[in-house]
Structure 1
């Protein structure tokens, strides 16, 4: 394995030297690597939502690709539904290695340009590890919470300073690394009112130190440099949710708060429309919150109001068509409707219609190898629920388009039963018919094949109450 990487890196270096003789601007970079337990035979390389190329893996699940006319910055590579970012600058020759079973955790880089990317991926993973700690800190008073997250921020700044002292870093890397620290800190500030215990969010907001959100005056809501960067977009979502909370309480009739409130959601969309002028950033925010609302609300009138607002404010024809189609599909899946005829493949590669399987109270959930943690957690949860509710049938459907063998290997590898495990015969069409978004979505269907709930979640606090309601009616 080491011999392969050394040989490949030497070859890249020699190609780079040859290139230097004919092209003095050095505006190229190499990206290659190896994918363990590949979920397909290609990697998709993109920048700013635009696909650069689809790169085929060889027989050993390896690839190498040269990017000409390189524009320095953040690129994304996608494989099997999972994606991650890589910072590319002129004359970089970066090799990656990852295992799809632990996509982010297993990712390592070697070659020229590797150190900066290993730093960035380690920071990404560290943020994920700190998440549980942050949620516990959120139960502290605002002043104590602020001290804790400032302490975390200061440690990150020291780590970055040490890295810059040790290695010769570029201005581009420095800008991205600093933004990662600052926007993660801002994000932690924005989530506080939502995670802090207590339903009266207005009291929480009024009890914050006056300088708690001072950084907001310097926020650029149209940062074209950071708009493809994960933490910036995550911050924006929580920031708009938070400032909409302030707007909501200016005209709310009581101090209670529900994220499903139509007024609150319209306030949030209006703030996005007023503060964001960059079309890509605006569209992604409007799209995200519209889809999110439609997926949770069972009020048709409110759904129509939110949909119409989005259609009026969005300038993205493709996005508007997609959201309209999604809303229409959800309307066909409302309570009391017959569950659609969908063709499945069982573990023996036998085709069957899903409605032939529904002869008792039934829960239908979905999984994908692209969401590996959800796959494992949902399988364990279903096993637990099957033991508690033997009168309910639990059907788990793999939504991937990798073939039956791939899904069976994933189940076998994790020692999960093949019983009541299926795969869509036509994944793309079936996912559209059932409006499967997000992946945690599940259906509850009665013995007459009528939909009881098309927007539930097996991890929801009241999920078992929903099951008992169906069983006892």
Structure 2
């Protein structure tokens, strides 16, 4: 396989099989590479450039080339050569799922019966499209297995998110209103599918499913029918559900890590962190992930209200290194972005532009977290019509991301004019954020 990368982020591409790095391949002067995989086993392979990743289905005899632009990674990806048709089908299906997800969110406001009718229609249309592709191209049994799983797991995920996206706050009432057979497909689900364990649709389904399974369990003993993602009891139920249904250690460890990190990043009651960490460590067998959780929790504890903002160095657009603490001359909001999440870059900057007009007494500082060249970062921000005087880049990205516990990327840190943290886990798009800004001004 090989490819051409336009607007490269680094000088190389990393190739993986399902578990390990196969090789790191350097781009030539035309930003192209070519690589032959010896003794190829049919299945998924992953290529990574910068922080972006995508999967490709390879079978013996394939000779695939791809072309992409990092400014629009997935959307610009096109395959050519032998084996290209099946991969173009899969990438187009991936992009179509992203579009349909927004429609499904709207459908979640319907009654369960109407919701089922709408998502059944989507599933039928996808099955018809797949059948047409199969009749025309005669793909392998392996492709057929993957393409059908894409359709099925997307459908199952839609059902699993229904109680959460539905506008009703009484989740117990919503679940009780579901038809008795609404989740009958769970009887056929393999929660330990080693073949699909690294595949996006399967992994997304598992996350949605365990959110929902834990909710059903939680509501049986919860004091109230209203639900909160940061409820410690609910999160403990979720870890227990994973432990009871998943025996594949790789799948289990990944799910346990994901949910524990998610809780630690959102929880504002530090005393509950130890309970989650204890439960996680009792169930996880991945030492690296265990160490990361413990390290992350220590970083989170240093971001408590009243603590000084950690000593972190950033670069400005003049390429000067400055201590971020020296920038806090007045109440300040520090937010973060990455080239990997283009929509969030756009949306966060637009949101800040609005807030700057409404709250001129507050400083807003934007920090890019990527480990790319300073030229790539500077080029991105200069192309946008945003105020550039407060755009910065971490001098040591990985170290700073860990130090500030930046997970998820939507995390915002609010600081008073004495460099003390007021909220280390805010979200500028959350309900009540502007009330928090008013509180910051009154510090």
Calculate the TM-score normalised by the size of structure 1. 0.92
Is 2:110 aligned against 1:149?
no
1:94 corresponds to 2:64: yes
Query: What does residue 379 of structure 1 align with?
Result: 349
Residue in structure 2 matched with residue 289 of structure 1 by the alignment = 259
Matches within 5 A, 1:129-208: 129-208=99-178
Q: Verify: 1:76 aligned to 2:46, yes or no.
A: yes
Aligned counterparts of 2:298 and 2:442: Cα–Cα separation in 1: 31
Match of 1:248 among 218, 239, 251: 218
Residues 76 and 83, structure 1, Cα contact 8 Å, conserved in 2: yes
2:291 is equivalent to residue 324 of structure 1: no
Tell me the secondary structure at the aligned position of residue 52 of structure 1: strand
> Aligned partners of 1:414, 1:225: CA distance in 2, in Å?
42
Q: Report how far residue 211 of structure 1 moved.
A: 1.0
Contact 1:45 1:77 in 2 (8 A): yes
- Which residue number corresponds to residue 60 of structure 1? 30
Is 1:458 aligned to 2:417, yes or no? Answer: no
- How many Å separate the matches in 2 of 1:370 and 1:194? 26
- Which residue does the alignment assign to 1:213? 183
CA-CA distance at 1:358 after TM superposition: 0.3
Shift of 1:418: 2.0
Count residues in correspondence.
443
Quote how far apart the aligned CAs of 1:332 are.
1.1
Distance 2:341 2:31 in 1: 20
Match of 1:355 in 2: 325
Alpha-carbon deviations, 1:390-438, whole Å to 9, x = none? 1100111111222221111111223333211111112122112111112
Question: Is 1:237 matched with 2:207?
Answer: yes
Q: Which residue of 2 aligns with 1:341?
A: 311
Check conservation: 1:287, 1:319, Cα contact below 8 A. yes
- Alignment partners' CA distance in 2, 1:100 and 1:414: 17
Task: Say yes or no: does 1:364 pair with 2:354.
Answer: no
**Alpha-carbon distance in 1 for matches of 2:264, 2:8:** 34
* In structure 2, distance between residues paired with 1:385 and 1:52: 47
SS of the aligned residue for 1:251 comes to coil
User: Partners of 1:212 and 1:472 in 2: how far apart?
Assistant: 50
Between the aligned partners of 2:225 and 2:429, the Cα distance in structure 1 is: 28
CA distance in 2, matches of 1:138, 1:431: 35
- CA shift digits 1:42-91 (9 cap, x unpaired): 11111224211111111221111111111111111111111111101111
Query: Is the Cα contact below 8 Å between 1:82 and 1:371 reproduced in 2?
Result: no
Segments of 5+ residues of structure 2 without an aligned counterpart are: none
2:4 to 31, 34, 50: 34
What is the alpha-carbon distance in structure 2 between the residues aligned to residue 256 and residue 185 of structure 1?
A: 26
Map of 1:223 onto structure 2: 193
Whether 1:402 aligns to 2:372 is yes
Please list the CA deviations of residues 364-387 of structure 1 after superposition, one character each: whole Å capped at 9, or x if unmatched: 111111222222222222222111
Query: What's the RMSD between the two structures over aligned residues?
Result: 1.0
- Stretches (4+) displaced over 6 A: none
Which segment drifts farther, 128-137 or 377-386? 377-386
- Superposition deviation, residue 280 in structure 1: 0.5
TM-score (norm: length of structure 2): 0.98
Distance 1:431 1:252 in 2: 35
- Equivalent in the alignment of 2:73: 103
Q: Distance in 2 between matches of 1:320 and 1:278?
A: 17
Q: Which has the larger radius of gyration?
A: 1
Paired position in structure 1 for 2:268: 298
What are the ranges of 5 or more consecutive residues in structure 1 without an aligned counterpart? 1-30
What's the CA shift for 1:164?
0.3
Alpha-carbon distance in 2 for matches of 1:270, 1:384: 43
Question: Which stretch of structure 1 is more off in the superposition, 89-98 or 428-437?
Answer: 428-437
State yes or no: 1:449 paired with 2:419.
Answer: yes
**1:122 and 2:92 are equivalent in the alignment:** yes
Matching residue within 79, 82, 85 for 1:112: 82
Q: Distance in 1 between matches of 2:50 and 2:419?
A: 33
Q: Secondary structure at the match of 2:220?
A: helix
